[in-house]
Structure 1
């Protein structure tokens, strides 16, 4: 099977719909960084799309579901996928708790304690990324690094500041 052209099987734009809502300047900054990182390096292709990318992604929230509206570079719609966020609730909650522990540890723990907490944080992030990759399987082809960047964005979408 031919592999898609990496210059075409990728995102060139990610937009957050008004349903996502706006938050504090710090949260908005984190969202912008997550989007920048995702666009900067990704592998993204809707399964079964006979056309060509690159793609634009518009994310919105509808009743605790994340809507992926995918379009071509010129704005022509390709497909929309709806993903339940329920499988991510526990992972995101645990991830935020361990991040809080990490930030506290930076202030008053030993380097080995900080490293142990950071390993746990990275492990949870990997679990969330794999869950996202699995949930998108058969819908959107992404590599693990793209899943990590998308999971970061999912986390930031939940963060209220």
Structure 2
């Protein structure tokens, strides 16, 4: 029995690394890069991730492939555990709205007073 109050099992059910394969991505502004880094940090710091029949913690690699996102899930030893694809089509409007909000936000912080 562990003396860590159950945290050991929580540690096993976590993403501890997230990487985005952005080889073909357009160059983003410094502000956008900072926001991306903060978002990944926030997910890593406070998440719960479970993969049936596998013991973590886990690494997640995300890659855009055509009109799909490839979720490549690996163990900390980098062995591939599973992959799946998610179509972007159903999320097109949400993505477009997200970019509109980001553009408005970046414009505001550059041109408006606090």
| TM-score, normalised via structure 2 length | 0.74
Q: Which residue of 2 aligns with 1:82?
A: 85
8 Å Cα contact 1:20-1:60 kept in structure 2: no
Q: Which has the larger radius of gyration?
A: 2
| Gap regions ≥5 residues in structure 2 | 1-8
Q: Tell me if structure 2 keeps the 8 A contact 1:19–1:60.
A: no
Displacement of 1:45: 1.6
Q: Which residue does 1:145 correspond to in 2?
A: none
Distance of aligned partners of 1:20 and 1:33 in 2 relative to their CA distance in 1, 3 Å threshold? farther
Q: Which residue of 1 aligns with 2:42?
A: 37
Give 1:9's aligned residue: 13
2:4 aligned residue: none
Larger RCO: 1 or 2 (CA < 8 Å, sep 6+): 1
The number of equivalent residue pairs is 99
Post-superposition CA distance 1:31-51 (Å, at most 9, x none): 1111101101101122x3x23
**Unaligned residue ranges in structure 1 (runs of 5+):** 109-161
TM-score, length-scaled by structure 1: 0.54
